[in-house]
Amino acid sequence: MRHEVQVRLIKQLETHLDAGTNVDAGGLMLNPTRVYVDPELAEREWNEFFVHHPQIVGLSGDLAAPGSFMTIDDLGVPILTTRDNEGRFRAFVNACRHRGAVVENRERGDDATSFSCPFHNWTYSLEGTLIGLTKGDHFGDVDTSCRGLVELPAAERHGILWIHPDPAGTIDVDALLGDELSDEFESWNFDSLRYLGGDTYDVACNWKLAMDTFGETYHFPVLHSKSLNLTFHGNVQCYDTFGRNHRMLLCRREIDDMLKLPENEWRVTTAGLPAYWLFPNVQLLPSEFGAFLVRAYPTPGQTGRHVSRISFYVWPGTEAGSSAETAVRTISEMFASIIRDEDYVVAASQQRSANAGSLEHVLFGRNEPALHHYHSTYRAALGMPPLPLLDDHDVA
């Protein structure tokens, strides 16, 4: 993030702290609870937001060198992503062109020279080309140039990896991010982050409830009273939207001492924690020591269930295997456990209420603009009517 933007945001946090205020969405919003349980809506979301929409699947550090790969099974089609011999990011349908068996079953690796199907040992290069056909003289005279893995659209920009689950799909990164956010991401140097590890949570709540947990810090003094609230000022934030995306800046308690320094020494990752929501299902949180990437995926056929995948990354300068790396890993795992054991536990309880149908609406406050933006954006993307912004006295 450019330093002048950092200073501007830090001053906004300072103003809120001094005045005892927070960002104001301009009104209240009633959100129908059916959006968390309606199977027809869930099917529309699955098709529009996931199957037929570009997906962020990781950062460049996930595929650090030629021969590295990841497999993805969250989007209705098995996917294999690779860093090929020329260093290019590629994506393929992870299915052998012989009989359709999954070719690579490992979640990730960094030393592949090729991929061999476990069924009949048909072998593919890092570029997806069919380079080995067992007993070809017995099988038949197959044109191997036409039987490579089915390639999927893939794009890499600003250290972020996008794929499209549909071979006929397109990825327009400029349109997905917009000029302002694209410029901001360029200044972060996300491509220098190194993958450190991650975790996966299968949670009994709708994927949108998972996103909602990242939408405000109003709950920090209560839900996180013995965890995040010790590090962050609750109910204080900056908030900006970028088309369908947003940036929310949480306020760290270290800001109190940092404000005593000259402005040229101010750092946004000391004063706060930026949280970027990237439509539809991704949270990217860069910090002073690395970054977190959270991806939430619906469980098809179960509106009240989703899978969250959390990845940890570290900035350059932290040596692999060092005590510093161990410290970063510990912090990352602790952060993920707070999401699992505090945020997602409450989200699952919200889902139980929604399942029961006991509440027609939930209420988003003035100090929860990200929740307004999430759900207004989802509805607009599906062509649904917008939810009105209400004055305080209009809410019974």
What are the helix (H) ranges across 213-343? Answer: 220-223, 255-258, 268-271, 323-338
Confirm if 101 and 118 have CB atoms less than 8 A apart.
Answer: yes
pLDDT of residue 137: 87
Q: Looking at 7-21, 132-146, 269-283, 310-324, which range is the least confident one?
A: 132-146
Place of tokens 């939207």: 241
Q: Which long-range contacts (CB under 8 A, 24 or more apart) does 9-13 make?
A: 9/238, 9/249, 9/268, 9/271, 9/272, 10/255, 10/258, 10/259, 10/266, 10/268, 10/271, 10/272, 12/238, 12/249, 13/236, 13/237, 13/238, 13/249, 13/251, 13/255, 13/271, 13/272
DSSP for residue 392:
G
CA 240 → CA 181, 284, 343, 363, 381, distances in Å?
10, 15, 23, 21, 19
Centroid of chain to Cα 173 = 15
Instruction: State pTM to two decimals.
Output: 0.96
Q: What are the structural domains of the chain?
A: 3-53+180-394 (3.90.380.10), 69-163 (2.102.10.10)
What is the secondary structure of 81-92 as a DSSP string? Answer: EEE-TTS-EEEE
Q: At residue 92, does pLDDT exceed 90?
A: yes
Structure-block tokens of residue 60:
């460049």
What are the helix (H) ranges across 100-159? Answer: 136-139
pLDDT of residue 392: 86
DSSP for residue 2:
-
pLDDT of residue 136: 85
The tens digit of pLDDT for each residue in 366-379 reads 999 999 999 999 99
- Please give the average per-residue pLDDT across 166-191, as a whole number: 97
Structure-block tokens of residue 14:
């300072």
Q: At residue 396, does pLDDT exceed 90?
A: no
pLDDT of residue 103: 98
